[in-house]
A = this chain, B = another copy of it.
Amino acid sequence: MIKVLVKGYGTIGKRGAWALRRQSDLTLYGVVKRRPDYSAILAVKSGIDVYVPGEEELRAFEESGVRVAGLLDDALGRVDAVVDATPGGVGRKYKGLYVKHGVKAVFQGGEAPDVAQVSFNPLCNYSEALGKDFIRVVSCNTTALLRLICSLNRYFTVDRVRAVIVRRGADPKEVRRGPINAIVLNPPKLPSHHGVDVKTVLPWLDIQTAAFAVPTTLMHTHFIQVFLKEGVTREDVVRVLEGSPRIVLVGAEALGVSSTAELAEVIRDMGRARGDMYELAVWEESVTVIDGREVMLTQSVHQESIVVPENVDALRAALSIEKDGERSINITDTALGLVGGWLLWSS
Hey, which bits of chain A sit against chain B, CB under 8 A? 162, 164, 166, 168, 179, 181-190, 208, 210, 212, 214-221, 223, 225, 252-253, 258-262, 283-286, 288, 290, 296, 298, 300
With A223-B210, A259-B179, A296-B210 in contact, is A286–B190 under 8 Å at CB? Answer: yes
Shortest distance in angstroms between A104's beta carbon and chain B's nearest beta carbon? 37
- CB neighbours (8 Å) of A225 from chain B are 162, 225
Cα(A225)–Cα(B160), bound, Å: 14
Cα(A337)–Cα(B289), bound, Å: 44
With A179-B259, A182-B261, A261-B182 in contact, is A188–B283 under 8 Å at CB? Answer: yes
Cα(A221)–Cα(B185), bound, Å: 9
Q: Please name the residue on chain B nearest to A286 by beta carbon.
A: B188
Cα(A283)–Cα(B210), bound, Å: 12
- CB neighbours (8 Å) of A168 from chain B are 183
Beta-carbon contact of A259 and B184 below 8 Å: yes
- CB neighbours (8 Å) of A182 from chain B are 216, 218, 259-262
Beta-carbon contact of A298 and B258 below 8 Å: no
Beta-carbon contact of B259 and A296 below 8 Å: no
Q: Please name the residue on chain B nearest to A162 by beta carbon.
A: B225
- CB neighbours (8 Å) of A298 from chain B are 185, 188, 210
- CB neighbours (8 Å) of A183 from chain B are 166, 168, 214, 216, 218-221, 259-260, 300
Beta-carbon contact of B296 and A190 below 8 Å: yes
Given B166, B219, B258, which contacts A188 in the complex, CB threshold below 8 Å?
B258
Shortest distance in angstroms between A298's beta carbon and chain B's nearest beta carbon? 6
Shortest distance in angstroms between A149's beta carbon and chain B's nearest beta carbon? 18
Cα(A186)–Cα(B288), bound, Å: 15
With A190-B296, A216-B214 in contact, is A283–B208 under 8 Å at CB? Answer: no
- CB neighbours (8 Å) of A188 from chain B are 252-253, 258, 283-286, 298
Beta-carbon contact of A214 and B166 below 8 Å: yes
* Cross-chain pairs A/B with CB under 8 angstroms, 26 sampled: A162-B296, A166-B166, A166-B214, A181-B215, A181-B217, A182-B261, A183-B214, A183-B216, A183-B220, A183-B259, A183-B260, A184-B259, A185-B258, A185-B283, A188-B258, A188-B286, A189-B252, A189-B285, A208-B288, A208-B296, A210-B223, A210-B286, A210-B298, A212-B221, A214-B214, A215-B216
